[in-house]
Every structure is written in structure tokens, then in C-alpha cells.
Structure 1
Amino acid sequence: MTEATSAPPLPDRLSIDPRSPHHVAAVFEHDIGIRLNDKDRFDVEEYCISEGWVKVPAGKTLDRKGKPLLIKLKGKVEAFYR
């Protein structure tokens, strides 16, 4: 069988945190790209296409559990496989 493995469809909302209910491990087996307002972003932790936002780390600031503090940026969000 010479069938190539197909990538699963990208969900409307996705998070890189494995504890999140929006984490889909099968999607992360492939390289994903996120574009916000027609600019590629490489630091996205979570996104929602229908609501039009992404969450990115706010510098080097950490919360009390040692995870980066996230800020929400709004705009036109596009997710794609590279």
C-alpha cells in the first residue's frame, strides 16, 4: 500500500496544552502554521478561527504555576498545514 497518511482536518479551536479540552494530539503530528491578519505567527499557544483570536505568551512573564502568561490578540485567523 503506497497510500500517504492524510492530515486530519484542522479544528475551529486548538490548544497546544495537553490538559486543555481543545487539544487534539493527532493534529500535532504534522507541522501547523497560524496566520493572524495576514502575518505568520510562530508563538501561538491557542487559537479560535470562528471567534477571531489567538493567545500568545506575554514576554517572559510566568504565572504562579510556572506557565507563561498569555494575551489574546484579535483579528483574522487562518490555520493551515505547512
Structure 2
Amino acid sequence: MSDKNTEQAPEADTKAGPDVPPDRISVNPRHEHFDGEKLQRGIGIRFKGTERTNIEEYCISEGWVRVQAGKTLDRKGQPLTIKLKGPVEAWYEDLGDEPPIAKA
């Protein structure tokens, strides 16, 4: 049974992959959820009903975004971020006026 589950998961990802952004992505190249190819397409993000352009990372299924906390840096020289919770929606900006929207 586990073989069937592992076979179905990639099919679901490939069907949603080209038109819908991933559930979680980060703009930091050091982060494990960074994907430069998907970020270059341009991802629009709506958080709590407002389009935002200052999002560092988001997770649609868990309902949160990370934004930079001013100009503050951590001890490694990376921007300090804070997590805000609420409804998150994401879409690819290169798909025109009415793209498919990923939301929880």
C-alpha cells in the first residue's frame, strides 16, 4: 500500500506544480524551501486580504508569513524576521489577470 501512496504523491505535485505556487517558499537562498526558478516567475501573495510585496517566506497550509523586522540583523548578518499568522493566498504573476490561486 505504501508503494501506491508514493506513486500518487508525485502525480499530484506535477498536476498542481506548473500553475499553482508551492505551499511553502522562501526568498533566502540559504533556506531549504528556496526555489529560484519558481521565484523568477513572480509569486503574488495576499495576506489577510491585502497584496504584500515584502514577504520573506510563507506557508499556505499553516497560515503564516515572515516579514523583515525593520533593518535589524541577526548575529549572522541575516535580516531579522517576524512571523505573522493569518490567511495566505499565492499565485504566479506571469499567468495573467485571473491565475489559479493557492489557498488553504
TM-score of the pair, normalised by structure 2: 0.68
Number of positions where the alignment pairs a residue of Structure 1 with one of Structure 2: 76
Instruction: Give me the identity figure in percent.
Output: 58
State the alpha-carbon separation in 1 of the partners of residues 80 and 34 from structure 2: 18
Gapped runs of 5+ residues in structure 2? 1-16, 94-104
2:23 to 5, 12, 23: 12
Report the aligned-residue RMSD: 1.3
- Structure 1 or 2: larger helix share? 2
Spell out structure 1 runs of 4+ moving beyond 6 A. none
| Equivalent residue number for residue 21 of structure 1 | 32
Gapped runs of 5+ residues in structure 1? 1-6
Bigger-Rg structure (1/2): 2
Alignment map for 1:38-77 (pairs within 5 Å): 38-77=49-88
State the alpha-carbon separation in 2 of the partners of residues 59 and 25 from structure 1: 24
- Structure 1 or 2: larger strand share? 1
